Every structure is written in C-alpha cells, then in structure tokens.
Structure 1
Amino acid sequence: MAASNPSVQTDLRPEVLVVGAGLAGLSVAWWLRGRARVRVVDMASQAGAEASSQNAGMLRRLGEDPYERTLAQRVHTLLSAPQAATFGDPMLSRQTGAVLALAHDPFHLHDAVSGLRARGIRLEALDRTRLAEVAPAMADAPVVRAWFVPDERVVDAGLLVSALMRDLRNTPGCSVTLDTRIDALDVHAGKVRGVRTSDATLAADRVVLAGGAWSRHLVEPHGVFRPLIPLRRTLVQVRGPRLGAHHPWCWIDDVGVYVRPEGEGWLISGCDEAIDAPSQLASGSRGPVGETERALALDKVVRWFPALADVRAVGGWTGLRTFAPDRRPVLGADPELRGLWWCAGLGGFGVTCGLAAGEAVAAWILGESVPFLRDPPAVSPGRSFFRRWPIRPAGDIARMRLVPVR
C-alpha cells in the first residue's frame, strides 16, 4: 500500500503509473522496465484476475481487422522465437495449429488470408477430405471454406502474467500494488498528475489506463468520452472424444463457434455477446454459465462439428471482453488530457495482442517509433467512433444488432 505522507510519495513517485494489472497493463510496464520508473496498480488481489484469466488462450493471426493482425503477428514472433528469457519458457505457449472456417460467406476472411500470405505466413486451403485429416472434429462439417494455419499457438495466460510480474518485481524502480482501488484521476490545469485512491494520491508524470471496462469512468468526470463497452461471453467445458493428441483448435468465424482441445475434453464457445454496463461492474467479473448460453454453444457444436455431437457440458464460465465501437484497440496518448495514455479495448484478443499493444504504448511514451504499427492515429484514443455499433448476441455476423454507443 502506498505511503500516506504526500511529500514522501512525491519524492518517490514513478514516472509512469499503470492502472490495471492484466496482460495489457503488465505488458506496458514490462516494456518500460529499466528505462523508466513504473508502478502498476490494480484493485484486484491477484494480477491478471479479470479478462486475462477468462479467455481460451488461442493466439489467432487470421483476424478481420488489419491492426489486430499486425499486433498478433508481433506477439506470435515474441513467443515462437523468443529473444527475451521471459518468453523462453516452453510452457508459456505451444504450437497447436488452427483451422479457420466459414459456414456461409466464403469471402469473409479474404483480406485476412491475403494479408497473412503477404507476410509469408503459412496457410493451407483445405478441401473436405483434407479438412477431415487435419481436424477430425470438422469431419462432415457443413462449411464452404477452411484454412489450416499450422503455426498457430495456445498461450497459458496465467503463466505469462506470472512471468511479467516476476520480471517487474525483480527490476529496480518497478513495483506492482494490488488491492488498491483507483477512485479518480488527479488532474490539474488539464494535466493528469496521478491518481487518487481512498487513502492516498499517487503521483506520476504519466498515467496509463489499462483497466478495461473500468477505465472510462475515470475520464468521464473530466468531460472526456472514450466509449469502452464490455461484452460478456460464455465458455463451456465439455467432455467428449479428443480425436487425436495434437488436434488444432477450430473456429467457424461467420457463425461464431470455436472448439479447443483441453484436458480430457474441449473448451467451446458460441461467441455470444451481451452488454454488461460498466456502472454495474465491481472487482470480480467472472460469472457462471447461463442455461441459454450453454444451450447455444452446445447446439452450435452439434450443427457445425458433427464429430463432437455427443459432448456433454461439465463446467464453464462467463467473462468480459471490452471493445471500442470499431472493435479496434485504444492505444496511445489521450489528446484531451495531457499526461494520460491508454492501452485498452483489446476485446477478445488480449492474449493475441496484449504483449505487442503494451510494447507500442511503451515505445510511444519513450518517444520512439513502432516499426510494426506505422499508423498510430488508427488506434488513437481520440479517433472518431461510431454512434451505433453492431453486437452479435448469438455470435453470428448475419444476426447482428445495432446498439447506441453510451
């Protein structure tokens, strides 16, 4: 807990204070370590306790958005050919391969496929025979297009969080403070000078908001609107045939359903989305699986993965994925509040993009360019956002619903 003497706190203040100890916030701090004094603060009692611990761990490069793909490729490089000892642990991630498929629109991922091939990433277009060989779970799947990405990976987000934490705690000038709720930004004359907790003001030259759904509440009292909207998604654990020790994870993108081998069964999701109003959130956003959402996931598996039709649910959870209306990350300096930076809006691709998003924000704070992200305005917190945006309640892009941005 921070000292209560303001003069002592100012003397020892970090150059950068990061709000949020998930993958995004820890990544910013990790890339700054040794080059700036950094303090990470989170209201949870454990780092990575929110969205970072609620995902399926799939590192996906074949995504719809080009900026997501760029960040994902950087993370893939960091984990598959690690130059830092932190990422050298083979338990952090493993190569599994992935199959991305389409049920209705054969061109939905056309740009993504072209983009990956232009980068020299291996993809194989699959006919039905080859699809059943590569991914037995997709034998007789009624899809119109499928690709195999053999180098895709699964990441253990918990181990990655622990590795980042270990490095930060072993680096002089870096610290992580948990169980500390941030009540407000400390702003003077249009400049953010730190944050306020219930019993102290923590001073810093720069503040990075990396707290996902909780971040927007800190800026709204200052007349700044950054629409970060949390969507709740369901993941279901099922028992059923493993169909091979090295089965790739599989995602049918346009109808919204994925399956990933896990333990003695599979982790599945119907990719449902339900807005969970930020004002109703408190620490601890992991929730139970509802009957409707469980039924949606199981029904999709029966329809689109006939080989897994006999699986049975044995557990699961729901978690939050926070998006900007254009479903693109919010990264960089805030143009309306000097001294404020963002690393948020990573949605369902925190594992896929978090390390690279943190690297980009850290580089910009240090006044450096980011070779793999050449158009910072495209992810800027000050960019224009839609007044209405589409969500996918049942995970299907053909059944989207427009909702107002509030």
Structure 2
Amino acid sequence: MTRADIVIVGGGMAGASLGAELAGDARVILLEMEESAGYHATGRSVAFWEETYGGPAVQPLTTASGPLLAAPDPDFHEGSFLSPRRTLHVGRAGDEGARDALLAQFAGKVELSPLDPHALVPGLRPDWTLGVLEPSCRDIDVAALHQAYLRRFRRRGGEVRLGARLTGAAREGDGWRIEAAGEAIRCGLLVNAAGAWADEVARLCGVAPIGIAPLRRTVVQLHVPAMPQDDLPLVMDLRSRFYFKPEGRQRLWLTPHDEAPSVPCDAAPEDLAVAQAVARFEEAVDWGPASVEHKWAGLRSFAPDRAPVYGHDPGEPAFFWFAGQGGFGIQTAPAAAFIGAALIGGAALPPAVAEIDPAPYSPARFR
C-alpha cells in the first residue's frame, strides 16, 4: 500500500498550485482522473487577470495574486505570467445603476475611471454611451502558470498520478484509505480540489456536500477581418451579457456570459449559446461580418454564495475543501495556494496574503 501525508484530488490549477506549496514539507500525491492535468476548467480559460471579476469577495485574492503573477520568483518562472490588456466595461441607457454599483463596490480598492467608451473601441455602436476603464487588467499565460506549478510540485517531491480517478474512500485510524486506479493509498489528509466534481468527491468520502454547482460557460473564437486593432481592451457588458477580447490578428474570444446548470462532465458548447454570443457581439460593434472559427465550453463551479471554499470541513477535519473557485481560480491561484497551505499547516499567513481574512472562505459557513 502506498502511503502519503496528503492526497489532493484534482490536477487543475487549484490542485497544482496548492500541491506546489505543500510539497517539500509533506509527502503529497496529486490524483488527476484525466490523462492530462488541467483538461477541464483550467484548459478552457479565457485567460485574464481582472481585479473586479468575481466581485468584492474575490477581489482581495486577485489583487494579492497580481504581484506574484507579474514578477514570480526566478526559480519558479522566468519572466511575467501577465501581459498588458485593460478592461472597458460598457453599457447603454438604463445601465447607470450597474455602472454606479461597480464604481461603489470597488472604490478605494481598484482603479476605475468613467469615460466615453468610443475613445477606446472604434466601431462601438452609438447607443453604447457608458464606459468604465479598469486599466489594471492583464492577460494571463494560463498554460505556463499551470506547468510552472506542476514543475515546482514535482521538484519538491510531489507525485502526479494521471488517469487516477478516486473510486473509494474510507476513514481508517486518524486518516484515510482511498482507492484510485486500482491501488490503495493511505493518507492523513484528503484535499478536495476537484472543481465541478467537488460535491461528488465529498459524497464519496462520506462528507456532506456544500452545494457547489457546475455552470457551463460558452466561448467562441471569431474571425473578424474588420476588427480595427488587436490591442483593444477586454470589453465587458455592464449587465453581464457578453465579453470579448482580441486574441491575435483579426481574431477574438467571445462569450455570452452564460451560466447554464450542468452535471459534472466534459462540457460542450450548445448552438443556442453560440448564436447568442454572436448576436450580442453584433449589437455592440459594427465590425461585421464575423465568422465562428472555433467554439468550446467549460464548467465554472460556484458555492451557493459564489465565494471560494478553503478550509477543513467542520464535521470531518481530515477533509480539506479547496473548491468553488468559479471562473476566477486562475487569477487568484497564488493567493489561494498560500492561504490553503497555511490553513493545512497551521501556520501564519505569508506576507503576500497577510491582510486577507480566510474566515469568509471557510466551509463552516455552510454548516
């Protein structure tokens, strides 16, 4: 029987980042059910770091992660994971309430400037009269960040097991006996970083689920020959009906900002969502015609209050939640991993996240 101090279920950004912080001080095994880590949510991200994205509960995690992503330790990654982008939040008559709420929620926390949106987006249709610039927004090299965490994890002695779905778990002594890929593993702590499968993992372990719900998000890649430039900002509708950003010359990524309930699965785009995305894009700009080159979908998993869940389960202290990270798990990965590792190790929070109170993210809020 294999023995480990900690087994992490899930090899996406959540599991890889937390594992990288834990390995070295403990023997850690990372279980990934797919044949490649990061196949689901991590591999389908639209790849930006935006401080207002996810709302006020998420903003401290995103803001704290920014410097760690912009200037990582050289032994972790050479160069920055971030590159310039900016966000332009846009709206029409009737959206003043959404604009004012955005400005009020992040006053004194995130730089936001009302302005005429047409100055930044040539071809924006005349009825889009409201604009708020968020200059701090950056693109993220998601693949590089994920691979850097996996490298650090392995370098510190962590073991990654691919194609290793958790199939059984039972309390044994002061820890767990689990089954994965036909092998028994004994560990002291089980970490649930399973994304859309987080509640399923909890049930398998005899732990009460939290109500983490997978929601499908559709993305299309458009070929737009008339797109005026490829360094435009990320454009987000103030009413959350769409956002898009350039992705190379004459191409952009676009989503209708859908959140369709789903079972945990290998998500696929639906034609209606693709059509909605294109229609909303055409309502916003006069860059037509545009053609769909590629389309995909991913599952963003939210707890009932839409804040992430980090901490030991109150009813089962040997079970640690690291889930419910919605669509913001990548942009908050460094801060979240620091917090998770400190909670597991019973240590003080490191300086980069010392001002963040972990209590609002505790699973105890659902018990």
Q: TM-score, normalised by structure 2?
A: 0.90
Shift of the alpha carbon at 1:187?
A: 1.5
Task: Show the counterpart of 2:214.
Answer: 230
For residue 376 of structure 1, report the CA deviation from its aligned partner: 2.5
* CA shift for structure 1 position 152: 1.1
**Deviation, structure 1 residue 270:** 0.3
1:214-363 → structure 2 map (5 Å cutoff): 214-221=197-204, 222=206, 224-240=208-224, 241-263=226-248, 264-278=250-264, 281=265, 285-287=266-268, 289-303=269-283, 305-363=284-342
Tell me which residue corresponds to 1:382: 364
Deviation of the 1:202 alpha carbon: 1.5
Which amino acid letter does the alignment assign opposite residue 177 of structure 1?
R
Given that 2:175 and 2:186 are in contact with CA atoms closer than 8 Å, whether structure 1 keeps it comes out as no
Show CA shifts across 1:54-82 (max 9, x none). Answer: 11002121135222111111222211233
Q: How many residues align?
A: 360
Look up the equivalent residue of 1:25 and give its one-letter code.
G
CA contact (8 A) 1:259 1:268 kept: yes
Question: Are 1:364 and 2:343 matched, yes or no?
Answer: yes
**Hey, what does 2:195 align to over in structure 1?**
212
Give the aligned residue type for 2:281: V
Gapped regions of structure 1 (runs ≥ 5)? 1-5, 386-406
Shift of 1:160: 1.3
Change (3 A) 1:365 1:255: closer
Q: 2:185 pairs with 189, 198, 202, which one?
A: 202
Residue 68 of structure 1 corresponds to 58
Pairing of 1:11-90 with structure 2 (within 5 A): 13=4, 15-63=5-53, 65-90=55-80
1:96 to 53, 64, 85: 85
1:160 pairs with 2:145:
yes
How far, CA to CA, are the matches of 2:326 and 2:163 in structure 1?
24
- Equivalents in 1 of 2:69, 2:213: separation in Å? 29
For 1:170 and 1:113, how far apart are their aligned partners in 2?
A: 43
Q: Following the alignment from structure 2 to structure 1, what is the Cα–Cα distance between the partners of residues 11 and 238? A: 30
Q: Is the 8 A contact 1:334 1:381 kept in 2?
A: yes
Q: Partners of 2:122 and 2:169 in 1: how far apart?
A: 52
Q: 1:357 to 1:51 in 2, by over 3 A?
A: same
| Distance in 2, Cα, partners of 1:133 & 1:352 | 28
Q: What letter corresponds to residue 156 of structure 1 in structure 2?
A: D
**2: CA distance, partners of 1:258 / 1:78:** 26
Separation of aligned partners in 2, 1:22 and 1:64: 19
- Counterpart residue type for residue 86 of structure 2: G
Which residue does 2:114 correspond to in 1? 125
Paired residue secondary structure (1:310):
coil
Cα distance in structure 2, aligned partners of 1:41 and 1:255: 35
Separation in 1 of the partners of 2:102 and 2:19? 31
- What secondary structure, in the 3-state scheme, does the structure 2 residue paired with 1:368 have? coil
Aligned-pair distance for 1:230? Answer: 0.7
Distance 1:217 1:357 in 2: 22
Cα offset for 1:215?
Answer: 2.0
SS in 2 for 1:67: coil
The one-character-per-residue Cα deviations of 1:105-124 (angstroms, maximum 9, x if unpaired) are 323354553454523x4332
Aligned-residue CA RMSD (Å):
2.2
Q: CA deviation at 1:223?
A: 5.0
Deviating more after overlay: 18-27 vs 99-108:
99-108
Which amino acid letter does the alignment assign opposite residue 182 of structure 1? L
Look up the SS of the partner of 1:66 in the other structure. Answer: coil
Deviation per residue, 1:208-230 (Å, 9 max, x gap): 11011212122225251221111
Query: Percent of pairs identical after alignment?
Result: 26
Q: Which runs of 5+ in 2 are unaligned?
A: none
SS of the counterpart of 2:57? helix
Q: TM-score, normalised by structure 1?
A: 0.82
Q: One-letter code of the match for 1:152?
A: C
Evaluate the alpha carbon distance shift between residue 317 and residue 220 of structure 1 in structure 2; reply closer, same or farther with a 3 A threshold: same
Q: What is the CA–CA distance in structure 2 between the aligned matches of 1:248 and 1:372, rounded to whole Å?
A: 32
Whether contact under 8 Å (1:286, 1:320) holds in the other structure is: yes
CA distance in 1, matches of 2:19, 2:324: 17
